[in-house]
Structure 1
Amino acid sequence: MSSEAVGRHMPTVVTLDDLTAMMAADESHRYEISPEGVLSIMPPPGYAHAIIATRLTVWLAAAGVPAERIAQAVGLRIPGRGGTVGGRIPDLVVWSKPQSDAVWLPVADVLLVVEIVSPGSEGTDMITKRNEYAAAGIPQYWIVDQDPAQTVTMHRLAGGHFTVHATMPLAWVLNTSPDEHDLG
């Protein structure tokens, strides 16, 4: 289908219901929308990306974080100004309590969001999503680079903005306890 044909069928304002329908019709891409209405279409994560998310999930579960509080690639409702709502699909989310079975979950009980940087997503992960997650009140945001050390930059919310709390290789993180990072 050409971009002109797609454009004729796109709604003027894309909602989370529209994103859900797009994802159901096209399992080859991930769809997100900023609270300002900017649509992003990304290919699915690659193998190295998936392994990083799996390693973090196993680390959390092995340390006793219940599986019902950890999820990979789940939709979050990101509140915006003036009542607008965006939808992001972080690579990993940790909650303080289990969530309902919904496509787009609220951010109220989120403890941590992790984004694994893929080629082309650097600006979105390091600036746009960082600002959106801070505005949503998410207490911690980790960005994992796919460099040789798989560098993890840990941000903590302070005064409505994220500050860098620590930067370390993923291997070092995996040798700590989630309790040391306020995730227990």
Structure 2
Amino acid sequence: MSAEAVGRHMPAVVTLDDLTAMMAADPHGHRYETSPEGVLSVMPPPGYEHAVATTRLTAWLVVAGWPAERITQAVGLRILGPGDEAGGRIPDLVVWSKPQGGGVWLPTGDVLLVVEIVSPGSEATDTVTKRHEYAMAGVPQYWTVDRDPDQTVTMHRLAGDRYLVHATMPFGWVLDTAPGDHLDV
């Protein structure tokens, strides 16, 4: 799909290559994702508070000694569905067990943690849809940061094929602990 086709001639099935082309052609920096079932989502670029929360988590990990090359922001993950379908999600933060090679849509095999900063309008996608998709992809831990007054962090751990809530605490409390208190490495 060419950049000129974005928004004018959408294909019946949007591939990860199509998403990459759409993001490259978008002058406004929107994020394009698709579920393994083919549901397309278009999100505006993150706002200031959203970006600050992601930066603070990244700094927390780096200051604690986590290697910077194992922490990424806004990198695409290939999410496989029950059949041969592949979707693509772009988490706000990913913590890896080892550095990754290049690419736009990376496999989830080396992912230790995915974090989504919940934005207005993305509540259902972040807390239900993505939670299910990341669990089915085998991501061991999934955190959501709600933008309530305390910026509540809900930490989920994989149990079988679904997540169980491990802890819920204010964002500031998380930053006052060590990453090793929460991450299984």
If the length of structure 2 is used for normalisation, what is the TM-score? 0.94
Q: Post-superposition shift, 1:160?
A: 1.1
User: In structure 1, what is the Cα distance between the partners aligned to 2:150 and 2:50?
Assistant: 13
Counterpart of 1:150, as a letter, is Q
Residue 19 of structure 1 corresponds to which residue in structure 2?
Answer: 19
1:90-117 deviation line (CA, Å, top 9, x unaligned): 0000000000110111000000000000
Runs of 4+ aligned residues of structure 1 deviating over 4 Å after TM superposition are 5-8
Residues 14-53 of structure 1: matches in 2 within 5 Å? Answer: 14-28=14-28, 29-53=30-54
Q: Post-superposition shift, 1:12?
A: 1.2
Counterpart of 2:78, as a letter, is R
Q: Post-superposition shift, 1:183?
A: 5.0
SS of equivalent residue, structure 2 residue 83? helix
User: In structure 2, what is the Cα distance between the partners aligned to 1:92 and 1:19?
Assistant: 19
Q: Which moved more, 1:22-31 or 1:137-146?
A: 22-31
Residues 50-69 of structure 1: matches in 2 within 5 Å? Answer: 50-69=51-70
User: In structure 1, what is the Cα distance between the partners aligned to 2:52 and 2:113?
Assistant: 19
State the percentage of identical aligned residues: 74
CA contact (8 A) 2:34 2:41 kept: yes
User: In structure 2, what is the Cα distance between the partners aligned to 1:157 and 1:81?
Assistant: 18
SS of equivalent residue, structure 1 residue 118? coil
SS of equivalent residue, structure 1 residue 90? coil
User: In structure 2, what is the Cα distance between the partners aligned to 1:27 and 1:151?
Assistant: 33
SS of equivalent residue, structure 1 residue 81? coil
Residues 23-172 of structure 1: matches in 2 within 5 Å? Answer: 23-28=23-28, 29-172=30-173
Indicate how the Cα distance of structure 1 residues 140 and 27 shifts in structure 2: closer, same or farther if over 3 A, else same: farther
Counterpart of 2:114, as a letter, is V
Counterpart of 1:63, as a letter, is A
Counterpart of 1:82, as a letter, is G
SS of equivalent residue, structure 1 residue 68? helix
Counterpart of 2:56, as a letter, is R
CA contact (8 A) 2:6 2:22 kept: no
CA contact (8 A) 1:112 1:183 kept: no
Cα root mean square deviation, aligned: 1.2
Q: Number of aligned residue pairs: give it.
A: 180
User: In structure 1, what is the Cα distance between the partners aligned to 2:161 and 2:175?
Assistant: 28
Indicate how the Cα distance of structure 1 residues 6 and 59 shifts in structure 2: closer, same or farther if over 3 A, else same: closer
Instruction: Name stretches of at least 5 consecutive residues in structure 2 with no aligned partner.
Output: none
User: In structure 2, what is the Cα distance between the partners aligned to 1:72 and 1:80?
Assistant: 23
SS of equivalent residue, structure 1 residue 148? coil
SS of equivalent residue, structure 1 residue 20? helix
Q: Post-superposition shift, 1:182?
A: 2.1
If the length of structure 1 is used for normalisation, what is the TM-score? 0.95
